[in-house]
Amino acid sequence: MADEVVTTATTTDAVENPLREGLDVVRTGDPAVMVIFGASGDLARRKLIPALYNLAYQRLLPPGFTVLGYARSPYTDEEFRERARQGILEHSSVNFQEEIWESFAQGLFYMAGPYNSREDFQRLAQRIDELDEARNAHHNRLFYLATPPTVYQVITANLGAVDLARPKEGGWTRLVVEKPFGRDLASARALNDHLLQIFLEDQIYRIDHYLGKETVQNILVFRFANGIFEPIWNRNYVDHVQITVAESIGVGDRGGYYDKSGALRDMVQNHLLQLVSLTAMEPPVAFDAKAVRDQKVNLLRSIRSLEPEEVPDYTVRAQYTSGIVNGKRIPSYLEEPGVAPNSTTETYVAWKLEIDNWRWSGVPFYLRTGKALPKKITEVAIYFRKAPHLLFKSQHHQEELIQNVLAMRIQPNEGISLKISVKQPGPAVHIQPVKMEFHYGSSFGRVPPDAYERLLLDVILGDGTLFTRRDEVEVAWERVTRILEGWRLEEEKAKAEGREFHLPTYEAGTWGPKEADELLARDGRRWRRL
């Protein structure tokens, strides 16, 4: 069992608030041997190792916690440690302290080997046993798939074959699977079927790193720990919702992966639909893995499925052309390395998503995400209905003034703001919009921790609340696969009619294609200026 150290609550109402239960508890987990497959790669170096170091720095990693990197590159333990050290120096958000590094590094090991060899996995099993004994890891094992998804099946099949999937007596065995989790409904199902022949569902932790972001978790606390918002969080008061996940970077050196994926698979199926489900779900009966995930699945199931022919009316996809972002020229998507010269892969998606349930019927959720946009920003904005009766008819921009907007800023400058109209000082009635704001940085005096820190700690603790369950992944893929199908038909239709299919474009450094503006303009709305 995990040790629990209860910290002193810092606010007087902490004990009355059920959602704080567990949140103001500092938890450290059991010792374990964590095997990172793909340990020589970017994810391990940039995210996983720095996150583990950060946990060690905060004394949240139990003594005896051991990392065994596994990949094809032939490193020694020493070389792996050196790479880890560099990764931490470049990417950790906490200070580098020699004595913490020394003790952390003693728990880092490496083993080179292929993913498809049973004999090598037997060697791996032996090495795990040796490390377990030497470092007193209590038979707990954590396998992390940080490889390309093409080898997920062969790795897990080999784990099963050498009997590493079944928990050893007295210990636990868990598997963490990175995205992409499939590339459509059929492949996601096939992957789930495969994994579930080897592991039990509650051994599997499917990562969506957005769920590890403090401000994403804060959506639930904001909604369900405050009495004043939930009563108006519905179709009677909300006009529409806008969710933006904008990135200023282009695809850079990830063209090879990205060109086979595109923004819908890369961002919408997972991160944006997670934001939708947390924003729109019904209150869970408890703040635990089952209750929260049950409600998220219910919400995802109420997202309207599009017929393929409807898809062009509800979605917009586009590709960036060359342009300037943050003062630097970005080449057009088609010129990026690894991208097919005639690629129709989208780097931008907008989706008018409708939710067919009592709470949200008739309230559109407008989603947009893209690469090479003017800035990096993620936010959820709730637009409330206008005041029912206009007293101040003579004012300019009265339409704007009376629409209250609650914006939950996920990143950067994490915080929440509420736009309200106030009277400007003076004898005449001049109305002006102002913002009431909460800033995470100034209220808590720190930037939020990296998402991987929280998620790795939760895996070690065996808490699946912030991970996606099988049914959740599949229902999200079902809705997204319909869009993919609609897009495919659109292209086939053009071909059958002897037309060339043209994907809309937008210049890098602008807020997306004009078609996305038209999507909202048709409903008499426009995208929020960010």
- Least gap, CB of 336 to ligand BG6 (angstroms): 13
Which is nearer to ligand BG6, 31 or 448 (by Cβ)? 448
Catalytic residue among 139, 209, 240, 271: 271
* Structure-token pair, residue 190: 């096939």
Q: For the CA atoms of the chain, what is the radius of gyration?
A: 24
Cβ burial, residue 227 (10 Å; 0-12/13-18/19+) = exposed
* Residue selected from 30, 132, 214, 247 as contacting ligand BG6 according to rule CB under 6 A: 247
Nearer to ligand BG6, 266 or 463 (CB): 266
Q: Does 463 bind ligand BG6 (CB under 6 A)?
A: no
Q: x/- binding map, residues 151-180, to ligand BG6, per CB under 6 A?
A: ----------------------------x-
Residue 453 binds ligand BG6, judged by CB under 6 A: no
Size of residue set near ligand BG6 by CB under 6 A: 4
Question: What's the min distance (Å) between Cβ of 406 and ligand BG6?
Answer: 21
Q: Is 102 helix (H, G, I), strand (E, B) or coil?
A: helix
Nearest approach in angstroms of CB 254 to ligand BG6 is: 7
Cβ proximity to ligand BG6, 259 vs 266, nearer residue: 266
81 vs 179, which CB is nearer to ligand BG6? 179
Nearer to ligand BG6, 271 or 482 (CB): 271
Spell out the residues 6+ positions from residue 234 whose beta carbon is closer than 8 angstroms to its own.
359, 360
CB of 251 to ligand BG6, least distance (A): 8
Beta bridge partners of residue 438, listed in sequence order? 416
Q: What is the number of other CB atoms lying within 10 angstroms of the CB of residue 331?
A: 18
Nearer to ligand BG6, 43 or 291 (CB): 43
Give the separation between CA 325 and CA 341, rounded to whole angstroms: 22
Q: What is the dihedral of CA 191, 41, 141, 108, to 10 degrees?
A: 180
In single-letter form, the type of residue at position 436 comes to: M
426: left (phi over 0), alpha (psi -120 to 50) or beta: left
Q: How far is the CB of 266 from ligand BG6 (least distance, A)?
A: 5
Between 198 and 325, CB nearer to ligand BG6: 325
Least separation in angstroms between CB 448 and ligand BG6: 11
CA distance 187 to 181: 8
Q: Are 353 and 367 in contact (CB under 8 A)?
A: yes
Position of minimal CB gap to ligand BG6: 266
Closest distance of CB 173 from ligand BG6, Å: 26
Query: For residue 250, what are its two tokens?
Result: 């282009």
| CB 257 to ligand BG6: min, Å | 8
Pairwise CA distance, residues 414 & 216, whole Å: 10
Q: How far is the CB of 186 from ligand BG6 (least distance, A)?
A: 21
d(CA 260, CA 267): 13
Location of structure tokens 């998804």: 149
88 secondary structure, DSSP code: H
**Site pattern 352..391 for ligand BG6 (x: CB under 6 A):** --------------------------x-------------
DSSP annotation of 252: G
Q: How far is the CB of 259 from ligand BG6 (least distance, A)?
A: 12
Closest CB to ligand BG6 among 172 and 210? 210
Q: Which residues of 123-161 are buried (b: 16+ CB within 10 A; e: fewer)?
A: ebbebbeebbeebebbbbbbbbbbbebebbeebbbbbbe
Closest by alpha carbon to 323, among 303, 348, 295, 300?
A: 348
Our answer to whether residue 194 is catalytic in this structure is no
Q: Which is nearer to ligand BG6, 215 or 481 (CB)?
A: 215
- Whether omega for the bond prior to residue 18 falls within 30 degrees of 0, making it cis, is no
Contact 35, 142 (CB under 8 A): yes
CA angle 297, 300, 304 (to 5 degrees): 150
Q: In sequence order, what are the residues at sequence separation of 6 or more whose Cβ sits closer than 8 angstroms to the Cβ of residue 141?
A: 32, 33, 34, 35, 128, 132, 164, 167, 168, 171, 172, 173, 174
Reduced to 3 states, what is the DSSP secondary structure of residue 453? helix
Binding flag, residue 266, ligand BG6 (CB under 6 A): yes
Nearer to ligand BG6, 179 or 240 (CB): 179
* Contacts with ligand BG6, residue ranges (CB under 6 A): 179, 247, 266, 378
Among all residues, which ones are annotated catalytic? Answer: 271
